[in-house]
Amino acid sequence: MTNFKLKIPKELEKYRADIEKTVVPYIKIETLKAETKLYNSKYGGYPYLPIGAEHPLDLYGNPMLLLAQINYEEIPHLDDMPTKGMLQFFITATSDKDDIYGADLDNPTNQENFRVVYHKEVVTDESKLVTDFSYLEAMNYDYGLFPVPEERSLEFTLDYEPVSTADYRFEYVFDEESDLSDDYDLIDVYVDELDVDGHKIGGYAYFTQDDPRGYNNDLKEYEVLLLQIDTDGEAEIMFGDSGIANFFIKPADLKDLNFKNVMYTWDCC
């Protein structure tokens, strides 16, 4: 790690050693209203799609919409993340009450109504990319109901953060003598001063309710946060009522660039 110095409020200073043990790097994402190319990182808009590649379809046989795509050559280096290629996140635009926004909350790795697609090489010659998306327009989707109604370009910054109070691991990182996790007044201070929500890659996930990995041992294997998309008023991004969406992967699958086994969940207030 660099010479990063975590700023800790005075109320939590006596817990510094325990808190600093949890600090990890992550990539902070800011949304911008700026023109993008098909091969750029972005939220929403038309996807990067090489000619001949299939547009992901949902359970109903309809083309999914692009939620986000990350061109790894455009982001700061983060250990264990790819250094090149394009990772895309698609979700259904025809959700019903059982799979809203494409998530199967009972089986969060079920990619019938969401899809994570990885391209090992990114083609920048647009003559080799699909540019006619009239088939999407013909679907007459209501983009006002889609979490990302308008395309947004992305800006990335490497930063550091301690464990989030929303992450199920929070209650395990403090020793019995400190027992910070049982002091609700101090928890409020921690939430206000140290929790990091927002859009991000890596680091610790944030939730408006509970971390589903905390009560399902099988899901605890999904340790790596591939992407977090938060409610963003300026970009008009929202999941439900001020919600947040997260995509996780197992470290071994990430190493193998296997994105067929990704956990996707979202929750809201």
Tell me what pLDDT residue 173 has. Answer: 80
Model pLDDT, residue 184: 82
pLDDT for res 180: 75
Please tell me the predicted confidence (pLDDT) of residue 176.
61
- Backbone torsions φ then ψ of 54, nearest 5 degrees: -90, 135
Where do the structural domains in the chain lie, given as residue ranges?
A: 10-267
Q: Is the CB of residue 247 less than 8 Å from the CB of residue 262?
A: yes
What is the predicted pLDDT for the residue at 79? 92
Which helix (H) or strand (E) segment holds residue 186: the answer is helix 184-193
Fold of 10-267: Hypothetical protein YwqG fold (2.30.320)
For 62-100, write each residue's pLDDT tens digit.
999 999 999 999 999 999 999 999 999 999 997 655 568
pLDDT digits (tens, 9 = 90+) for 105-140: 899 999 999 999 999 999 999 999 999 999 999 999
Residues in Cβ contact with 120 at an 8 Å cutoff, skipping those fewer than 6 apart: 84, 85, 257
Q: What is the rounded CA–CA span in Å between residue 262 and residue 246?
A: 10
Question: What long-range pairs does 10-14 form, CB within 8 A, spacing at least 24?
Answer: 11/186, 11/189, 12/180, 12/186, 12/189, 12/190, 12/193, 12/194, 14/178
Q: Using the Cα atoms of residue 107, residue 258, residue 57 and residue 238 in order, give the sign of their dihedral.
A: positive
Query: Which stretches in the chain have pLDDT values below 70?
Result: 1-3, 95-99, 175-179, 181
Q: How far apart are CA 244 and CA 237, in angstroms?
A: 10
Residue 171 and residue 28: Cα distance in Å, rounded? 24
Angle at CA of residue 136, ends 148 and 117, nearest 5°: 65
